[in-house]
Amino acid sequence: MTGRSHQSTPTVTSVYDTGTSQRSISRSTRRTSTANGMVERIISTDTRVATPASQLAPSATAMTPTIQAGSSGRRVMGGRDVRSATAGGAPPRRHAGCHADARFCRRPAVLPGGMRWSSAGSTAPRLDEAAREAGAAVRRGLGGARPDLCLAFVSSEHRDAWDGLPTMVAAELSPGTLLGCSAGGVIGGGHEHEQAASLSLTAAVLPGVGVRPFHLNTADAPAVPDAPAGGPPHVILLPDPFSFDVEEALRRLDSAFPDGTVVGGLASGGREPGGNVLYGAGGAHRAGCVGVVLAGDLVVDTIVAQGCRPIGEPMFVTRAERNVIQELDGRQAGLVLQEIYRHAPKDDRPLFRQSLLLGIVMQEHRQEYGQGDFLVRNVLGIDGRNGALVVGALVREGMVVQLHLRDARTSAQDLETLLGRYHGEPRGALLFSCLGRGRGLYGRPDHDTDAFRARLGDVPLGGFFCNGEIGPVHGTTFLHGYTSAFALFRPRR
């Protein structure tokens, strides 16, 4: 029910409980006449999972201009064997899976010689000043210990000084490995900093854990980095959205590391190729992907909060081609959508144009679909010629799907539910949150970080606002949108 598939490293995936109502689905083959589309025509192209509408339909008017993700739906009873609805057919895998002065976590260091984390954020106007301020706070949090890993996220307001950041961090912390990237907003010391010059440093002392950094350029995209010995490999991945095939990399990492966890986010802050910076594997890069593979005395738990709720009823896809659904339950998809719209509560109707989503069931050989069983992708629009539904994922006949909506209230409830179900004791955490969350969604900063602190206490928390979030849903890693993906780190022993 929580997307957990390996006992030692739980994964909590986004859910929304709609009660226990049940419905039988039959494979009706009724056809209906074409109805007028609800939006302008959308032209379909090939895609595996949610990608920007500009890539799926560059000449079209999209119903929703953003990418989103979520999971779960109303329970359904079906007597027939339904094939897996994993978007794009990605192979399933097992999962191993705060501060007083707005700068650093209050949580004290753990036992001497054990795993330690510390996080700090600074809004100093100069990057060298920010590095000194955040670095000093992180050192205090680590009790002066030299970190094995440091993650640095820096806002675009510091663009002119980006290339010098590795030297600045080395002077302050001398980490064994530096990993990071540019950001449209940063999360440091458990607080969110958006639309202002800011720097986040999050560092960890990781005894018994091998840390192997890597940088892959565009030509290396199919490659898989080497993993240290000592246990299931876990990956923190920071790709550039303009130059790296993220989805192919995720497929290969899931296949290469079936017992590990892959988390991360796409660099942000830049608006064109070469406009972001990546830190890792010996310097600053303007393209490709950076990351680290961690293995040893380490467990990485995940909470992937996708923030949406189901509307209408689950349905079979009865006719589809690539990312275009012609029929649902034997009826024209456009007519089905119009019918759901007419019966929706008045307050929900504006969301059909702003945040309409499609949930795709994620479990094979199930007769009941419920919490955590759906991966949610964007509905991009209706083809006005034939009433077909265009979505941000590859679909096929036999899938079970359900429409979803998203708003701030639902997103907040989803996160609260997931955090309440987590019972681990992490030493540190990273948050990869969408640029569309934060102040823009909730009307104030620190919503998600406050919720995290209220449930888990003063666990050191760092991260950034991403162009896309990476995290697992039901044992398979996906690239998400409008998601908060938490990675929680604790010792294995």
Whether residue 147 sits in one domain with residue 125: yes
Lowest mean pLDDT among 193-197, 380-384, 453-457: 380-384
Among 407, 423, 445, give the residue marking a domain's end.
407
Whether residue 457 sits in one domain with residue 383: no
Q: How far apart are CA 191 and CA 196, in angstroms?
A: 13
The two three-digit tokens of residue 379, written as one number: 């509905």
Whether residue 474 sits in one domain with residue 334: no
Q: How far apart are CA 149 and CA 226, in angstroms?
A: 17
Report the pLDDT value the prediction gives residue 254, as an integer from 0 to 100.
95
**Is the model's pLDDT at 367 over the cut of 80?**
no
The residue ranking higher by pLDDT, 67 or 361, is 361
Torsions phi, psi for 204 (to 5 deg): -140, 140
Sign of dihedral through CA atoms 472, 477, 482, 485? positive
**Is the model's pLDDT at 4 over the cut of 80?**
no
Whether residue 445 sits in one domain with residue 389: no
Whether residue 263 sits in one domain with residue 155: yes
| Beta-strand pair 484-490/428-434 | antiparallel
Report the pLDDT value the prediction gives residue 368, as an integer from 0 to 100.
65
- The separation between the first and the last C-alpha atoms of the chain, rounded to the nearest angstrom, is 26
Q: How confident is the model at residue 38 (pLDDT cuts 50, 70, 90)?
A: very low
Whether residue 246 sits in one domain with residue 384: no
Among 407, 441, 459, give the residue marking a domain's end.
407
Q: How far apart are CA 459 and CA 187, in angstroms?
A: 13
Whether residue 121 sits in one domain with residue 170: yes
Report the amino acid identity of residue 392. G
Q: How far apart are CA 251 and CA 258, in angstroms?
A: 10
Q: What is the DSSP letter of 371?
A: T
**Is the model's pLDDT at 236 over the cut of 70?**
yes
Report the amino acid identity of residue 419. L
Q: Which residues pair with 382 in a beta bridge?
A: 389
Domain-embedded: residue 475: yes
pLDDT tens by residue, 100-136: 222 233 343 345 569 999 999 999 999 999 999 999 9
Domain-embedded: residue 109: no
Q: How far apart are CA 66 and CA 114, in angstroms?
A: 42
Report the pLDDT value the prediction gives residue 46, as an integer from 0 to 100.
30
Domain-embedded: residue 330: yes
Q: How confident is the model at residue 222 (pLDDT cuts 50, 70, 90)?
A: low
Domain-embedded: residue 169: yes
Give the chain's domain count: 2
Look up tokens 């008045």; give the residue: 346
Whether residue 153 sits in one domain with residue 209: yes
pLDDT tens by residue, 240-284: 999 999 999 999 999 999 999 999 999 999 999 999 999 998 889
In this prediction the pTM is: 0.75
How far from 208 is each of 231, 280, 361, CA to CA, in Å?
10, 21, 39
Asked whether the beta carbons of 16 and 308 are under 8 A apart, the reply is: yes
**Is the model's pLDDT at 1 over the cut of 50?**
no
Sign of dihedral through CA atoms 139, 141, 147, 152? negative
Report helix, strand or coil for 466: strand
**Is the model's pLDDT at 142 over the cut of 80?**
yes
DSSP for 65-128?
SS---------EE-SS------GGGPPP------BSSSSBB-PPP-STTS-EEEEEEE--SSHH
Long-range Cβ contact pairs of 52-58 (< 8 A, separation 24 or more): 53/378, 53/380, 53/392, 56/323, 56/380, 56/390, 56/392, 57/380, 57/381, 57/390
pLDDT tens by residue, 298-347: 999 999 998 888 888 889 999 999 999 999 999 999 899 989 998 888 88
Whether residue 325 sits in one domain with residue 399: yes
Question: Which phi-psi region, left, alpha or beta, contains residue 202 (left: φ > 0; alpha: ψ -120 to 50)?
Answer: beta
Q: What is the DSSP letter of 385?
A: T
Q: How far is residue 464 CA from its own chain's centroid?
A: 12
Domain-embedded: residue 106: no
Report helix, strand or coil for 157: helix
- Buried b or exposed e, range 153-183, using 16+ CB within 10 angstroms: bbbbbbbebbeebbebbeebbebbbbbbbbb
Sign of dihedral through CA atoms 171, 174, 180, 184? negative
Whether residue 327 sits in one domain with residue 392: yes
Question: Which of 217, 238, 218 shows the shortest CA–CA distance to 154?
Answer: 238
Report the amino acid identity of residue 44. S
Asked whether the beta carbons of 214 and 157 are under 8 A apart, the reply is: no
Whether residue 291 sits in one domain with residue 338: no
Report the pLDDT value the prediction gives residue 105, as an integer from 0 to 100.
33
**Is the model's pLDDT at 198 over the cut of 80?**
yes
Domain-embedded: residue 290: yes
Domain-embedded: residue 271: yes
pLDDT tens by residue, 395-443: 999 889 988 888 888 889 889 989 999 999 999 999 999 998 999 889 9
Q: How far apart are CA 77 and CA 66, in angstroms?
A: 32
Report the pLDDT value the prediction gives residue 393, as an integer from 0 to 100.
85
The residue ranking higher by pLDDT, 224 or 149, is 149
Query: Domain residues for 181?
Result: 116-305+411-490
Domain-embedded: residue 265: yes
Contact residues for 269 (Cβ-Cβ < 8 A; gap 6+):
155, 156, 159, 182, 183, 184, 275, 276
Angle between helices 165-173 and 127-141 (to 10 degrees): 30
Whether residue 362 sits in one domain with residue 244: no
Among 407, 428, 461, give the residue marking a domain's end.
407
Mean pLDDT of the residues in the chain: 79
Report the amino acid identity of residue 430. L
